[in-house]
Structure 1
Amino acid sequence: MNFRNKKHKPLEISLTPMIDVVFLLLIFFMVTTTFSRQSTIKVVLPQADGQQTEQQQQAVILTIDKAGLYFIDDKPLSDKSLGTLARELSASRKDRNIPLIINADAAAPVQSAISVLDVASKIGFSNITFATQKQE
């Protein structure tokens, strides 16, 4: 009988194959996953809780309707071009510090409002505000 204690070799677990499998799974899931860019935030504009200002009798009021048409002091512009908008805004501006109030419809294209901001800042309007209605 052989009762000698045999020396056992320490077991080695190689992690390399396991890491390879994990990386392959990671690559597989990255390739097969579809990324959605849909926004789940519903935004209703323009409503705000703010104080009403008394500067409206001295302001230039620019209105943007649902179709993206521009109106300056309730007079429609002849077309939607930015050149016409710039001419009419500079003609209606008498004082350098007069505010520009933008009345944009909630369903108006955002690009129309951005274009108005861009043109107004190029002309020299420094006091630009958006008119909103009080939240119910």
Structure 2
Amino acid sequence: MHFRPRPLEEPEINLIPFIDVLLVILIFLMLSTTYSKFTELRIELPVADADAQRNQPREIVVGVGSEGQYSVNQVPVGSRTVPELVEALRAAGGDSSTVLVIAADAAAKHQSVVHVMEAARGAGLSHITFATQSAGR
């Protein structure tokens, strides 16, 4: 038998069907993807006078010492219980718009501050803030 040698052809990869498939996938992904537009929250802050801000709400300052002693507007409270604190806060004359400022010593126990917060709830004071000092002092 006589076999003729075939001419050696280099294999060729046809890229056109491959590109067609990739374009179809790209179009599918572009149509099916939802683009979430990140909107920027634009806020116009009101202008306020510093003097008017000082005269706004009434404040009750509760001091908490490092040993758990309390003072309401620099008047010492004899007992360390929550009911006594509630009575002291009511005697200070707070209403629902009054701001309670808790000025606790850095070494005060967390439970002492929680007692002041419970007493504020019992006295009907819902606006609570904490006094701090700047690091430079």
1:117 alignment partner, SS class: helix
Structure 2: distance between partners of 1:85 and 1:60: 12
Match of 2:98 in 1: 98
Distance of aligned partners of 1:84 and 1:56 in 2 relative to their CA distance in 1, 3 Å threshold:
farther
Q: Which residue of 1 aligns with 2:70?
A: 70
Distance of 2:130 and 2:95 partners within structure 1: 19
Distance 1:120 1:67 in 2: 20
Q: 1-side partners of 2:56 and 2:95: how far apart?
A: 14
Deviations 1:92-120 (A, max 9, x none): 12432010001000000110001111121
CA distance in 2, matches of 1:103, 1:117: 12
- Aligned equivalents of 1:57, 1:114: Cα separation in 2: 23
CA deviations 1:3-39 (Å, max 9, x no partner) are: xxxxxxxxxxxxxxxxxxxxxxxxxxxxxxxxxxxxx
CA distance in 2, matches of 1:102, 1:70: 10
Report how far residue 58 of structure 1 moved.
2.5
Gap runs ≥5 in structure 2: 1-52
Equivalence map 1:26-65=2 (5 Å): 54=54, 58-65=58-65
Aligned residues: 85
Query: How big is the shift at 1:55?
Result: 5.8
RCO comparison, higher one (Cα < 8 Å, 6+): 1
Q: 2-side partners of 1:60 and 1:132: how far apart?
A: 15
TM-score, normalisation: structure 2: 0.56
CA RMSD of aligned residues (A): 2.2
Task: State the secondary structure of the residue aligned to 1:63.
Answer: strand
Which ranges of structure 1 fall in alignment gaps of 5 or more residues?
A: 1-52
Q: Which protein is bigger by CA-based radius of gyration?
A: 2
Distance 1:56 1:88 in 2: 23
Aligned residue number for residue 116 of structure 1: 116
| Identical positions, percent | 32
